[in-house]
Amino acid sequence: MDALALLILVVALVGLGLVATVTGLIVGRRRGPKPLPNTHTDVIVKPPVEAAEDEPPVELSSPPATLEPEVEVPEELLEEAPALERPEGTASRLVRLRQRLAGSQGALGRGLLALLSRDRLDEDTWESIEDTLLTADIGVGPTQELVERLRTRMRVEGGTGADARTVLREELLALVDPSMDRRLQVSGADGQPGVVLVVGVNGAGKTTTVGKISRILVAEDHSVVLGAADTFRAAAVEQLATWGERVGVEVVRGPEGTDPASVAFEAVKEGVTRGVDTVIVDTAGRLQNKAGLMDELGKVKRVIEKQAPVTEVLLVLDATTGQNGMIQARVFSEVVDVTGIVLTKLDGSAKGGIVVAVQRELGVPVKLVGLGEGADDLAPFDAGAFVDALLG
């Protein structure tokens, strides 16, 4: 009997011990820290929570979620990443921007047409035509040339009832030169990315243009890396970073004051490593003396070309700056081989004639036009569409 009582006692004690061990294990697991994914300094882990005395035993089948330690994640990490913007599609952008171009430049064509359609084309009328062209910044040489050609054609063909609009259209088109190759060289050879270097004075619209070009490329399913090499202005770097974030494009940047060439180098290196289609490099636009500018841009280009050839050098010019803009254009074209011109702010002035003047001056085509501050307000320049917009 005593032996039986002893046996029952032993079995009871062993049973209790087992329950305690199992419960202890589970509670222990519950208390123990869970390895954090990606141990991150921003993640604050609370101290383990003590199990309450009267807490019911945890079933082994309990969902694992109840076993997770509580983790407090700072609010900024909880905020959802902003949704990426979808840049406007090409077709709708072009229709919209053509209308805007007609809005800003139409008065020039209409003014010329009204003058040319007069019954008598006397000297006063020709003088007014000349003034209209000069006011639109076409430049002295091209203006004289155009007036001369119009005079001849209207004299010879006018009697035959030639339409002034047709004559004007043909002559303006010849002046803008539809034969120039205006395609952007955004692709590289042999699997390397295309490298687009964007130059111009501060305020011309360089950074904005880099952002807008990246959107056009993203809309056309190209992969892009941006280089924020305007390291003298923190605001320009931030501005470019924002452009990149909005469409999910990586922006390579360095601390303020870093050598622009090193940022350009890193950006192209990143583009090569990631195998992207295009790297676009924004540059500093301080218009210091010509030698300084030449040193700076020359170095940027040389350093980039250790990684991949530069396929396009775009000079950004503010269309509203007239003669001043032309002087800047000349300086830049002397220090770097410009392959294309971007004319910005054509929405804000009727000075579309600068297209002709700057192409003549540099012998380089206008490839893009900026037509507003909106993210998708950049259009490829098309000679025929431009002249049609002028004539309304």
* Positions in the binding site for ligand GDP (CB under 6 A): 200, 202-208, 236, 285, 344-345, 347-348, 370-373, 377
Q: What angle do CA 331, 335, 340 make, to 5 degrees?
A: 80
Which tokens in the block code for residue 107? Answer: 């008065």
Say which DSSP state 237 is in.
H
**Alpha carbons 385 and 101: distance in angstroms, whole number:** 9
Residues 168, 150: contact at Cβ < 8 Å? yes
| CB nearer to ligand GDP: pick between 51 and 219 | 219
| CB nearer to ligand GDP: pick between 109 and 200 | 200
Q: Which amino acid is at 306?
A: K
Shortest Å distance, C-beta 282 to ligand GDP: 7
Q: Residue 282: which of 260, 308, 309, 307 has the closest Cα?
A: 260
| CB nearer to ligand GDP: pick between 334 and 373 | 373
Shortest Å distance, C-beta 209 to ligand GDP: 6
| CB nearer to ligand GDP: pick between 129 and 300 | 300
Question: Pairing mode, if any, of strands 366-370 and 378-380?
Answer: antiparallel
State the CB neighbour count (10 A cutoff) for residue 251. 24
Residues 59, 38: contact at Cβ < 8 Å? no
Which tokens in the block code for residue 36? Answer: 């954090």
**Alpha carbons 145 and 122: distance in angstroms, whole number:** 18
Shortest Å distance, C-beta 204 to ligand GDP: 4
Shortest Å distance, C-beta 32 to ligand GDP: 54
DSSP state string for 139-182:
-HHHHHHHHHHHHHHHHHHHTTT--HHHHHHHHHHHHH-TTS--
Shortest Å distance, C-beta 238 to ligand GDP: 11
Shortest Å distance, C-beta 48 to ligand GDP: 52
Helix (H) or strand (E) holding 223: none
| CB nearer to ligand GDP: pick between 106 and 211 | 211
State the CB neighbour count (10 A cutoff) for residue 344. 29
| CB nearer to ligand GDP: pick between 167 and 375 | 375
Q: Which amino acid is at 382?
A: D
Shortest Å distance, C-beta 185 to ligand GDP: 21
**Alpha carbons 376 and 354: distance in angstroms, whole number:** 22
Which tokens in the block code for residue 384? Answer: 């025929």
Q: Residue 257: which of 229, 276, 293 has the closest Cα?
A: 229
Shortest Å distance, C-beta 212 to ligand GDP: 8
Q: Which amino acid is at 344?
A: T
| CB nearer to ligand GDP: pick between 88 and 347 | 347
**Alpha carbons 274 and 116: distance in angstroms, whole number:** 57
C-alpha distances in Å from residue 145, one per residue of 183, 218, 275: 27, 42, 48
Shortest Å distance, C-beta 381 to ligand GDP: 13
Shortest Å distance, C-beta 348 to ligand GDP: 5
| CB nearer to ligand GDP: pick between 371 and 390 | 371
Torsion on CA atoms 168, 169, 175, 181, rounded to nearest 10: 180
| CB nearer to ligand GDP: pick between 188 and 285 | 285
Residue whose beta carbon is closest to ligand GDP: 370
| CB nearer to ligand GDP: pick between 139 and 200 | 200
Q: What is the CA radius of gyration of the chain?
A: 34
